[in-house]
Amino acid sequence: MPKVKLGTKSEPSVELKKSADLIAIRTRSTRSVRAGPVPSPSAAEVQDGKLITSFPEAGVEVYQVQVGPRERSLESRKAALRAAPDVRFAGGVFVDPSGEPVVYTENLFIKFRDDADSEACREVIRAAGLVIKKEVAYAANSFFVAAPEGTGEKIFDIAAALLNRQDVEFCHPELLWRRARRTISPQQWHLRTTSVGGVNVSASANVEAAHALSSGEGIVIAVIDDGIDIDHPEFGSSSKIVAPRDATLGTGDPRPKDPHPQFSDDHGTACAGVACADGVAGASGVAPRAKLMPIRLSSGLGSQQEAEAFVWAADHGADVISCSWGPPDGDWWDATDPRHTNMFRLPANTRLAINYVTERGRGGKGCVVLFAAGNGNESVDNDGYASYERVIAVAASNDRSKRSVYSDFGNAVWCSFPSNDFGFPEQNRPEPLTTGIWTTDRRGPLGYNRGRTDLGDLGGNYTNAFGGTSSACPGAAGVVALVLSRNPSLRWQEVRDILRRACDRIDPQGGLYNPQGHSRLYGYGRLNAETAVRLAAPSDLNSLRVSRIVNEALPDLQTVSVALDVVETRLVENLSVLVDIEHTYIGDLVVTLIPPPALRMRNIILHNRSGGGTHDLKKIFDPLVVPALAGIKGKSPAGRWKLQVRDAAARDAGILRRFSLDLVLAPQEPRDAPGPERAAREKTQRSPRAKQTKAKLVRRSTRPA
């Protein structure tokens, strides 16, 4: 059975095994084998089966069929299906250790070392019998390639052989999992204290108060999800929609497509409304004046289209990226569900794309990427997407200021945001005070509300029961937009730290906050939007930039050094270094930061001949990118800092344009008056039918390849 490395050679493998009762079918027409008023003869082979997952744009379906002595064998079913004219492929299905089906394609993602010769990389690909489908722009020497049709399971051997090469960093087949939505399925109590159904609800993120200071002007929120109803009146303000995209189909139309009756595109419209609905007719987003970049993604989890959706967002001006999806969750009410302990790795192609947007987005300040923590009542640390170090994982809190019963927990949870909840007597959890989050829905008879006032409004344009960490994530993304609108100069790490400082510690006894203020249930607490916006004001930040315009030539095979004198003596909380170099081959360059001798720190290599033939190096280096920079924390930065640039190989030359040190200084609050953060903290210290509730919880959306 194949073992697949989705990361580097040294990272753990994902072990797959063949399922005994699953069949994958791919049709030439991309229609379902069971579609139409008159089913085709091939439909008989899966008539007794259950549709487990579907990738409609690729024409792929996975069925679970009956097995046993009195049933037709898998092999005979597959043979009969292969004989059908419209069936392109019929075969077995692999499952991961938790039993989740995994569909493989005959495509590979491969990244060679940055210093590898580009033409030599192409020759390796050709020699392996592969064809380049796309050169990946967001990572040096990276390619999306295809094997000949009919390669089948040999694709795993090809990937393993290539990964064993010394010049290859990453190589894995394109594996597709179900993309699980983070949804569970007046009124906007999450924005302000209000009364719902005659009951006072005071569990909001204090958003209404924040709107006096910021409403998101000038900021673009990218919502990567299924289709988004961009014709909804709440997205109709002037220039509201920016760079719309269908990443799966490669078009500019992100509207819902409803590719399969069981998996309709309802989720994205609700998520977008929570983040930034205009609030002109019936629902305000957290950041109503922010612009919306709707990106429809219905491809499988781990697909190349997934990676490219992130790159599209950064390249077209997104400031914030909200992702209310991830690996399939276990059933939150079933402690024995084996999916609770499944480790899901972040594939290299998507990892590098997230690196790209956090390094190159917003002119080098980095896009802020948020993921829903998950709805499995399980550890988010097992989820390679939400727990990635460049991502902000958002958990859900309920209308009683406690953890929503389904919300994932763990070290990676950064913050929480209000969402819905469920009563659960087994854990002494009372019924919630509200049905959930009131937000936008697909218009008319589509979406979650088909036009019933007990589900939203009579027109069917709004739903009153959105929830899950799917709702919490875009809510937090809206807070980020408020913060960036207040101070657009913030780097993504500074935004993340503001969110940390802006959290209210709800449930102080049950939250089990550690001495650093972190809870595995709530992160640093529930976001307080007003506090976050106040902390973002430039006058409230202890930040300092020391910069020098250099414009000095970098001759071939020579070394250039420039200096910056820092006179600030206060202690440093964080150091980032901005380097701006024009060069025709950055793989020639070694860039070193030399601290003042008094600090007794070693020289810090910022860039060591990576990037190959990429032109120009304009990048912010921070402790996340270069951990050695954390060594300055708690020390005075005073003294002469030097930047040394060495051209280590022949043929190319360039110019060093600029060198800057960005210092975040340790806060010094006055003794006689509270600082803005302390003052803000002191100021603020569904349906009852259980069976229907659970049915909504287990429903998962699968995205086509």
- Single out the residue of 377, 380, 401 nearest to residue 391, CA to CA: 380
Tell me the backbone φ, ψ of residue 704, rounded to 5 degrees.
Answer: -70, 160
Residues paired with residue 593 on neighbouring β-strands, in sequence order: 604, 643
Residue 115 designated active-site: no
Say which DSSP state 534 is in.
Answer: H
Residues paired with residue 245 on neighbouring β-strands, in sequence order: 295
Give pLDDT, residue 196. 83
Residue 541's H or E segment, with its range, is: none
Q: Is 610 exposed, middle or buried (0-12, 13-18, 19+ CB in 10 A)?
A: middle
Q: Are strands 245-246 and 291-296 parallel, antiparallel or unpaired?
A: parallel
Residue 190 designated active-site: no
**Catalytic hit among 32, 264, 322, 470:** 470
Residue 78's H or E segment, with its range, is: helix 74-82
Structure tokens at 338: 């084996």
pTM: 0.80
Query: How far is residue 398's CA from residue 153's CA, in Å, rounded to a whole number?
Result: 46
- The length of the chain is 705
Give pLDDT, residue 337. 93
Q: Which amino acid is at 342?
A: N
Question: Could you give the count of Cα atoms lying within 13 Å of 8 in the half-sphere of its Cβ?
Answer: 7
**pLDDT, mean of each 10-residue run, the chain (705 residues):** 92 93 90 73 85 84 90 90 90 90 94 93 96 94 95 95 96 90 67 86 94 95 96 94 97 89 85 95 93 96 96 98 96 94 95 95 95 97 97 97 97 97 92 94 90 87 94 98 96 94 96 96 97 84 85 96 95 93 94 96 96 88 91 96 96 94 76 40 35 31 29
- Single out the residue of 465, 440, 445, 447 nearest to residue 455, CA to CA: 465
How far apart, in Å, are the Cα atoms of 386 and each of 370, 500, 618? 8, 17, 28
List strand residue ranges (DSSP E) for 525-638, in order: 526-527, 543-554, 559-566, 572-583, 589-594, 604-608, 617-621
- Single out the residue of 608, 628, 630 nearest to residue 619, CA to CA: 608
Residue 225 designated active-site: yes
**Catalytic hit among 96, 114, 225, 507:** 225
Radius of gyration of the chain (CA): 26
Give pLDDT, residue 695. 31
**Catalytic hit among 267, 340, 583, 607:** 267
Query: How far is residue 63's CA from residue 52's CA, in Å, rounded to a whole number?
Result: 5
Give pLDDT, residue 625. 85
Q: Which amino acid is at 489?
A: S
- Single out the residue of 660, 636, 385, 637 nearest to residue 550, CA to CA: 660
Query: How far is residue 366's CA from residue 356's CA, in Å, rounded to a whole number?
Result: 8
* Total Cβ atoms within 10 A of residue 228: 31
Cα end-to-end span (Å), the chain: 23
Contact predicate 374/339, CB 8 Å: no
Query: How far is residue 316's CA from residue 325's CA, in Å, rounded to a whole number?
Result: 22
Structural domains in the chain, sorted by start:
17-95 (3.30.70.80), 103-176 (3.30.70.60), 180-539 (3.40.50.200), 543-665 (2.60.120.260)
